[in-house]
Structure 1
Amino acid sequence: MTSTSRTVIVDRPVEVVAAYLSDFTTSAEWDPHTVSCRHLDDGPLAIGSRFENVQRLAGHDSSLVYTVAEFEPGRRILLTGGNDTVDSRDEMTFTPTPDGGTQVTYSIDITLKGAAKLATPVMPPALKKLADEGAESLEARLRAL
């Protein structure tokens, strides 16, 4: 397993930021590697809600299906997902700052499966690069809310 975490702080209310990011379809707006993301279920966001997230990495598109495993509205969301080559655990926590802003911590754990396991040694630097790019884009998008 390869893990990383990034934290951004923005001058936006926690309710706004948490609602925006908990709707995982918005990852297509702020994650530079997400091509599209759609909610696969009807109804409100809840534990068990599913999303199809299509990511472009190294010139190839890969579809992952995520499920909301834990959800504390306004505080935290945990999504687990994957496909035949990868399992992913994505957690976002939302903490109000003293000045009315929000601290967002995005943590991800990636486990490669099957033949993809051969790439495990190169995962830490690749995941660091993805996380750095994602954090920069996330912060810019949240500032624009």
Structure 2
Amino acid sequence: MWFGSKQPVVAKASTVIQKPVEEVFHFVGDEFFANYPRWSPEVVELHRLSEGPLQKGTTARQVRIDHGHRTETTFAVSEFQPHRRICFTGLSNAFFCSYEFERAGSPGAATRVAFTFELKELEPYMRPFEKLIRAAVQDGVERTVKNLKGLIEGSG
């Protein structure tokens, strides 16, 4: 019987947002705790566990409800490069995600945001559902960049 692989589940998506990179980064990075539940509505609770602005080492706890399944995770900012890249690493669950920002089009006019999400390894009981999980994760990543684009471009 096939039980799936131990390969990570990786999903990527990108979009071009018609706002300058500084504005897009501010929305995602500087205002993370206010805005993350807006672009990821599966997040029903978000708590900062460390003081100060979002930066490398900042920790937080989130509760998500994805397809009726409740998960609670603790994560940390593993990389923070203003106007370029923010990465998060799961502390209680093996995941990694990154947001990458680069200027697109004429100078200052638009920003390409690339979002990557990786589950490092599926739990053994989840391996028979690997194809469904991969599809759901890819759908979630695509929805994330679509939501970011709509929120940021709509914010005037």
**TM-score bin (small chain):** 0.7 to 0.9
Aligned partner of 2:104 in structure 1 is 97
**How much is the aligned-residue C-alpha RMSD, in angstroms?**
1.8
Q: 2:79 aligns with which of 70, 77, 81?
A: 70
Aligned partner of 2:4 in structure 1 is none
Aligned partner of 1:24 in structure 2 is 32
Please state whether the residue corresponding to 1:63 is helix, strand or coil. strand
Deviation, 1:133, is 2.2
Larger strand proportion, structure 1 or 2? 1
Aligned partner of 2:146 in structure 1 is 136
Quick check: 1:5 aligned with 2:15?
no
**Structure index of larger Rg:** 2
Task: Give distance in 2, aligned partners of 1:114 and 1:57.
Answer: 19
Q: 2:22 aligns with which of 15, 30, 49?
A: 15
Deviation, 1:91, is 0.4
Task: Give distance in 2, aligned partners of 1:36 and 1:13.
Answer: 29
Aligned partner of 2:50 in structure 1 is 41
Task: State the TM-score, normalizing by the size of structure 2.
Answer: 0.81
How many pairs are equivalent? 143
Deviation, 1:16, is 1.3
Unaligned runs of 5+ in 1: none
Please state whether the residue corresponding to 1:130 is helix, strand or coil. helix
Unaligned runs of 5+ in 2: 1-7
Task: Give distance in 1, aligned partners of 2:32 and 2:94.
Answer: 17
